[in-house]
Amino acid sequence: VICHPKYQDSKRIAIFLSMPDEIQTEEIIKDIFKQGKECFIPRYKPQSNQMDMLKLSSAEDISSLSLTSWNILQPSDDDSAREEALTGGGLDLIFMPGLGFDKKGNRLGRGKGYYDTYLERCMKHPSGKPYTIALAFREQICESVPVAENDVQVDEILYEDS
C-alpha cells in the first residue's frame, strides 16, 4: 500500500478504522501522517445510509474517538469541529473495506450502502470521484459477488499476491 503510486500521489486520503476481521489499517494511518498527507475517517449515521469522512488531526487522535454500537471507533455525532472532506478539497483516494470482492471490482459491503452513497456525493464535488482501493484478504476474492444497480465498483483491489 505504502509504495502504491496512487497512494504516493494522493494528498487527501480516506481510510477505514479496521475491525478485527478486516485488513488492519493502523500502520497505513501512521504513514499518512508521517508523509504529511491529510487523513479522513468514516462517521456512519445509524438508521440511514449516510456517511461522512471526517479529518483526523493525528494518528493519536484515534484514541479520542467514541465506540459505536457496531464496535467501530468514529467521531461522535456532536463533534462538529472536524473538517468533512467534501466541504473542503474533496478526496484523492479512498481505501475501502468489504466482506467479498470479485476481479471486476464489485464489492460486497455490510449491506447499508454507505460507501456507494458517499461515492455518489463525491461525484458531485468539484474534485470529482476519488480513486478507490479495496483492501482484502486473498480469501475474500470471489468469482462474483451480488451487485445492485446503485453499487459503485472499486478501481482496484489489493490483496496478498495481487
CB burial of residue 99 (10 Å; 0-12, 13-18, 19+)? middle
* CB-based contacts of 103, cutoff 8 Å, min separation 6: 141, 157
Whole-prediction pTM value? 0.94
The string of pLDDT tens digits covering residues 40-84 is 999 998 778 889 999 999 999 999 998 887 788 899 888 889 999
- The candidate with the shortest Cα–Cα distance to 155, out of 41, 34, 128, is 128
Binding-site annotation: residue ranges for substrate? 17, 22
DSSP letter for 37, please: -
The string of pLDDT tens digits covering residues 140-150 is 999 999 988 88
Q: Answer for the pair 12, 37: CB distance below 8 angstroms, yes or no.
A: yes
Binding-site annotation: residue ranges for ATP? 107-115
Binding-site annotation: residue ranges? 17, 22, 107-115
Residue entry with cell 472532506? 85
Answer positive or negative: Cα dihedral of 155, 133, 55, 71: positive
CA-atom Rg of the chain in angstroms = 15
| Domain spans in the chain, listed from the N-terminal domain onward | 5-158
Query: Thinking of the domain 5-158, which architecture would CATH place it in?
Result: 3-Layer(aba) Sandwich (3.40)
The dihedrals phi and psi of 96, each to the nearest 5 degrees, come to -120, 140
CB burial of residue 117 (10 Å; 0-12, 13-18, 19+)? middle
The string of pLDDT tens digits covering residues 8-47 is 999 999 999 998 889 999 999 999 999 999 999 999 987 7
- The candidate with the shortest Cα–Cα distance to 25, out of 136, 142, 156, 160, is 136
- The candidate with the shortest Cα–Cα distance to 122, out of 95, 92, 81, is 92
